[in-house]
Structure 1
Amino acid sequence: MSYRRETRASKIGLFDGYNSLEEGGLRASTSYSSDISEHENDKALDTLKDRVFFLKQLSGDIQDEVLNHNRVLDRMGNEMDASRGILSGTRDRFKMVFERKSGRAMCKLVGFLVAFFLLLYYIIRVLRHSM
């Protein structure tokens, strides 16, 4: 029985304007109060309709966002597959170069030149900032 009350309370908490539906003019209990006028019921019903409409729009917006994110993820997955193919081709080319002795020597030379220019750039940058 308390589970039903907690569930009902959590559902009712969705509607910020009322602390509970009973206070808002919609009374679902067996003891119906004759104090509530038809005008108050109509007003509460209109408020409830507005909130339901708002929640419907919100859920539609959430669905649109989910669909957009899924499209982006699909595109990104396709691009990753394409780049994986390019990288595997590059890896195969490097394997062929390293299998030959002259290719290994050329790669070492290129590696040393790149490292030298990076070191030279770093030294020039440090000297320029220290002045």
Structure 2
Amino acid sequence: MNFRRENRASRTSLFDGLDGLEEGRLRASSSYAHDERDNDEALENLQDRVSFLKRVTGDIHEEVENHNRLLDKVGNKMDSARGIMSGTINRFKLVFEKKSNRKSCKLIAYFVLLFLIMYYLIRLLNYIKG
């Protein structure tokens, strides 16, 4: 009998807010209204989060597009610089193919080196005096 009492008590607590069910009307219990209010608040909170995430992803997409355009421009400029450098290297190869051109380039390089050494020696002497 104890089991029947517990079963009846749990059944009563289960259908506690539904007293008017047999009469054809249904009354919402306070816990149901409270649950609905909590659900509405949670739904609004979720909508706010979704809209925030949508804005953030939109901003990220915009940044990615800007960076892609920038990288394309940099890539194009690097390609043009590569073309210029390869042309310059080809010209140097033409100059250094002949021995006479090689000797004259060495002579010019020695003069430039001598000039730089003299320049730094003069600066060093002025630094020591001053």
Q: TM-score, normalised by structure 2?
A: 0.62
Q: Percent identity?
A: 52
Quickly say closer, same or farther: Cα 1:70–1:43, change in 2 above 3 A: same
Q: CA deviation at 1:74?
A: 1.2
Q: Which letter does structure 1 place at the counterpart of 2:73?
A: R
Quickly say closer, same or farther: Cα 1:129–1:42, change in 2 above 3 A: farther
Query: How many residue pairs are counted as aligned between the two chains?
Result: 99
CA distance in 1, matches of 2:95, 2:72: 35
1:59 counterpart residue number: 57
CA-based RMSD: 2.7
2:37 counterpart residue number: 39
Quickly say closer, same or farther: Cα 1:44–1:111, change in 2 above 3 A: same
Structure that is richer in helix per residue: 2
Unaligned runs of 5+ in 2: 1-30
CA distance in 2, matches of 1:130, 1:40: 86
Quickly say closer, same or farther: Cα 1:34–1:116, change in 2 above 3 A: farther
Q: Which runs of 4+ in 1 moved over 6 A?
A: none
Deviations 1:96-129 (A, max 9, x none): 1111222112211222233334434544269638
Quickly say closer, same or farther: Cα 1:43–1:111, change in 2 above 3 A: same
1:49 counterpart residue number: 47
